Amino acid sequence: MAPACNTLLFFVFFTFPLSIFSAASIHFHHPLDPLTLQELDQVRTIITASHHNLTFHYVGLDEPDKSIVASWLAHRTTAKTPPRRALVIARLNHQTHQFIVDLSTHSIVSDEIYSGSGFPMLTFEEQTAANSLALTHAPFRASVGRRGLKMEEIVGLSYTVGWYGEEGTSRRIVKVMFCYLDGTVNLYMRPIEGITVTVDLDEMKVIAYHDRLMVPVPKADGTDFRESKQKPPFGPRLKGITVVQPDGPSFTIHGHQISWANWDFHLAFDMRAGPIISVASIYDVEKKEQRRVLYRGYISELFVPYMDLTEEWYFRTFFDAGEYGFGLCAMPLQPLTDCPENAIFMDGYVTGQNGTPVNMTNVFCIFERYSGDIMWRHTEAEIPGKLITESRPEVSLVVRMVSAVGNYDYIIDWEFLQSGSIKLSVGLSGVLEVRGTAYTHVDQIHEEVYGTLLADNTLGAYHDHFLTYHLDLDVDGDTNSFVKSNLRKTLVSGNRSPRRSYWTVVSETAKTESDAKIQLGLKPAELLVVNPNKRTKVGNYVGYRLIPGSVVGPLLTDDDYSQRRGAFTRYNVWITPYNKSEKWVGGLYTDQSRGDDTLAQWSLRDREIENKDIVMWYTMGFHHVPYQEDFPLMPTISGGFELRPSNFFDSNPVLKVKPPRQVKWPSCPTSISDLP
């Protein structure tokens, strides 16, 4: 019997000796660095000196104008860092304030009161307060008694309510729904259906209560996902596997600037967006210069509409970034399970409701990935008497964050490849949101139940996930154009070929925003962002193209109130001229918004986009029909897309890449005969 083997792959990257984190970075400020712990505390001090009893809903960097950042990057060794400013959104006396705070002058530059529709992100503290208030409400406690449930086992959850055509000024409210523990920590699998407590967040008081129906609470058995609670039979256990880099990683981190292989980019954490990748550039070894690719990229919104029309469910059409904060819901990453052994971790900061900074540990991990993929290969077998094979392993750099927004865990990866590609992927795991029901078998169901029966008394609701990315591509500069290269079927006329048909490429350059609204899947096309002022040696415009993953679009009607708020999902691709204020596709104030400040509205101006500084907005998504394998916890389902160089280089940029030295662990088998 062969000895047990831990599969250790040793990678040695031949780089200059390095220290991962630069000590000098402590005093170094990139203009796009997120606010530090000290700066966040300074913001709180400045605002509370003149404004009392306010609640902080968002604090983040008020990023400098793009031209200022570009100037700083061009002269970073001598240029002075632009003044540091903070954008603060807060509530005071039932009004939303938008502050700009100048940290260099220790002053409030502007204080605007927002009077439009919609409200800022919810805070954790007010959700907790609303949940606690609902649990003490006397009619609710009476309803619990009628159901024979234990009060101490009940958990309240605050749900945003959306907008369904109401006129006039809205109150900031949430609907508190309830789940039951009593034998499990998987609370979402045990909903208490029929009860709704409506809470006014500004007044922090109950304004409505409904106990509409009584159905069985799904049982706890078999729902707990903790390893310590699992019972036999168990699946087979695999032998140990890890990745080791004996010489350390091949990337360096200076403050928030990351350098790896031929890539250089900036990584920041934002309490609304989560990870923000900025000023990404790649070194062209043939031209001996660093070339710009992406100025700014992040998830602008995550729209999750559920399809259940029942009284306690119809309003569940969530905007996870704008209502709950994608970064605010970031979770500490677990070494060896969330990230491999060779990962490096970074922290982030958010602010609490009172403005106090909060350290979010291990929100990012950065690691080099090698999973046996091939970067390129070829076997030449046509030369008589020779068999020539060349192959290179694919090693990439990954930046990861996980955001647990309620029941869902979103695994967000930005992956940089030596070929110049950037792969963006999203993994969905966590638990389903289920509805309690009297049904225990599908044969009992003779009505629309808006979901799948997963277990006794447990319906998994149909729903969607739409993630819209803000991608400010600056391909070899900031004046770019959007080109749609249609693959057109062409019939062969005359006798010029035995063939009857072929396809060719017919390219169209979008002149205005209306030319660049794309619903994918209707006809084959290549979608490119090119620099019309730069050409390769043979005359092609340099560019990057979007390679979509699975194509998903909304199935709701355009006049559905939820879809009006999420109208930015109507097209998979939009192109707009760069505008610093256009960051959030669902609007700056998303909670109870009415669809009047979305990407769909901005683009109605039909602005010119040819040979301009442009932004691509790409929406990927999932239609989620639950299956029993999703119960009681979902195996990860993943999707993504790629930004790939297209005539950006004069030839294959990784042809001359030196592979890492691979040292196989001596006891590992190399053939079937070596296996036990």
Distance, in Å, from the CA atom of 130 to the CA atom of 329, rounded to the nearest integer, reads 18
**Are 62 and 580 contacting, i.e. CB atoms less than 8 angstroms apart?**
no
Distance, in Å, from the CA atom of 447 to the CA atom of 489, rounded to the nearest integer, reads 46
Q: Residue 277, SS3? A: strand
CA dihedral 48, 51, 52, 55 (to 10 degrees): -80
* Phi, psi torsion values for 390, nearest 5 degrees: -130, 140
**Are 39 and 268 contacting, i.e. CB atoms less than 8 angstroms apart?**
no
DSSP assigned state of 33: P
Sign of CA dihedral 118, 120, 126, 128: positive
Distance, in Å, from the CA atom of 486 to the CA atom of 33, rounded to the nearest integer, reads 40
Q: Does 164 qualify as catalytic in the annotation?
A: no
Give the residue carrying structure tokens 């954790």: 124
Burial of 613-627, coded b for 16+ CB within 10 Å and e otherwise, reads bbbbbbbbbbebebe
Q: Does 320 qualify as catalytic in the annotation?
A: yes
CA Rg value for the chain:
27
Distance, in Å, from the CA atom of 475 to the CA atom of 457, rounded to the nearest integer, reads 54
Q: Residue 62, SS3? A: coil
Alpha-carbon distance values, 382 to 196, 278, 378, 389 (Å): 73, 46, 12, 12
Return the closest-CA partner of residue 411 out of 345, 363, 460. 363
Distance, in Å, from the CA atom of 105 to the CA atom of 244, rounded to the nearest integer, reads 48
Instruction: Choose, from 58, 408, 439, 450, the residue flagged as catalytic.
Output: 408
Angle, vertex CA 296, rays to CA 293 and CA 299, nearest 5: 125
Distance, in Å, from the CA atom of 189 to the CA atom of 181, rounded to the nearest integer, reads 9
Instruction: Choose, from 224, 320, 338, 409, the residue flagged as catalytic.
Output: 320
Q: Residue 135, SS3? A: helix
Can the peptide bond before residue 632 be classed as cis, meaning omega within 30 degrees of 0? Answer: yes
DSSP assigned state of 337: T
* Residues forming the active site: 320, 408
